[in-house]
């Protein structure tokens, strides 16, 4: 069934709002967990100084002995560390959700790529591929449709990984080079890579076509045992 493009945009915008609300609620729950763990740590430290009143008897192992609270504190610290990591993931989800509401904007490419970084790492982990990501610090911006930009990069990364085997590696580097924003995907070159992203494409390739529709280019180079797939996007007006 064909869907009118305007309807698809509206669906993505609604989905973005829904995900943003979910991310906001999850962030509130994580904040409560973190605050509770911090409070428990403070209470344990107070108890250890015997300022805890009648509650301290629940911690006593023997008359006049103090409990070693370090294992408890380590456990609480571990909770807070996990909450911090979960909060970072959730913030990226929230940013990604808000991107779905945008149709065209000016943005830093690597800032948008950070929002799908965890999804890329998870995809590589499932494949058994070691993914290394290096995102340069940017000073110039690009102008495009953020969700389609993310889809183009994610899809091309997925295509490259389809030509790799478990135990292989893939390096993703992104930044501004030669007056354009480039995403370079470097991987080992082998027989399994020959059918990937032909240099003389015959037929349609959705991810490549999205890049071209955004005003960009895709090409591949090979040599010295590696294959480099490059996605290049134009910078925003006035940024060159």
Whether residue 82 is predicted with pLDDT greater than 70 in this model: the reply is: yes
Comparing 8-12, 94-98, 175-179, the range with the smallest average pLDDT is 8-12
Dist. CA 126–CA 122, nearest whole Å: 6
CB atoms within 10 A of CB 219: 12
Per-range mean pLDDT, top range of 56-60, 164-168, 186-190, 208-212: 164-168
More confident call, 117 vs 59: 117
Average pLDDT, rounded, for the chain: 77
Q: Residues near 117 by Cβ (< 8 Å), separated by ≥ 6?
A: 92, 133, 135
Dist. CA 151–CA 116, nearest whole Å: 9
**Residue 20, both tokens:** 């943003």
Q: What is the mean pLDDT of residues 108-137?
A: 88
Banded pLDDT at 219 (limits 50, 70, 90): very high
Q: What is the mean pLDDT of residues 160-188?
A: 92
Q: Residues near 5 by Cβ (< 8 Å), separated by ≥ 6?
A: none
Banded pLDDT at 172 (limits 50, 70, 90): very high
Banded pLDDT at 7 (limits 50, 70, 90): very low
More confident call, 205 vs 63: 205
Percent of the chain with pLDDT over 90: 20
Percent of the chain with pLDDT over 70: 72
Assigned architecture for domain 105-234: 2-Layer Sandwich (3.30)
More confident call, 150 vs 57: 150
Which of 37, 49, 48 has the alpha carbon at shortest distance from 74? 37
Helix axes of 109-127 and 146-162: crossing angle, nearest 10 degrees: 30
Q: What is the mean pLDDT of residues 165-182?
A: 92
């Amino acid at each position: 069934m064909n869907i009118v493009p305007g309807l698809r945009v509206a669906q993505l915008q609604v989905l973005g709002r829904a995900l943003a609300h979910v991310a906001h609620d999850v962030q509130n729950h994580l904040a409560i967990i973190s605050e509770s763990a911090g409070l428990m740590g403070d209470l344990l430290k107070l108890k250890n100084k015997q300022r805890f009143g009648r509650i301290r008897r629940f911690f006593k192992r023997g008359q006049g002995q103090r409990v070693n609270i370090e294992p408890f504190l380590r456990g609480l610290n571990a909770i807070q560390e996990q909450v911090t990591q979960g909060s970072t993931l959730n913030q990226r989800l929230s940013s990604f959700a808000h991107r779905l509401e945008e149709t065209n904007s000016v943005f830093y490419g690597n800032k948008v790529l950070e929002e799908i970084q965890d999804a890329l790492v998870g995809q590589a982990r499932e494949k058994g591929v070691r993914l290394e990501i290096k995102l340069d610090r940017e000073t110039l911006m690009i102008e495009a449709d953020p969700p389609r930009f993310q889809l183009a990069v994610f899809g091309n990364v997925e295509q490259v990984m389809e030509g790799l085997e478990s135990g292989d590696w893939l390096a993703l580097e992104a930044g501004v080079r030669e007056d354009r924003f480039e995403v370079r995907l470097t991987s080992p070159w082998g027989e399994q890579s020959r059918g990937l992203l032909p240099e003389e494409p015959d037929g349609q390739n959705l991810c490549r076509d999205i890049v071209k529709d955004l005003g960009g280019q895709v090409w591949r180079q090979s040599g010295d045992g590696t294959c480099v797939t490059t996605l290049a996007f134009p910078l925003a007006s006035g940024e060159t």
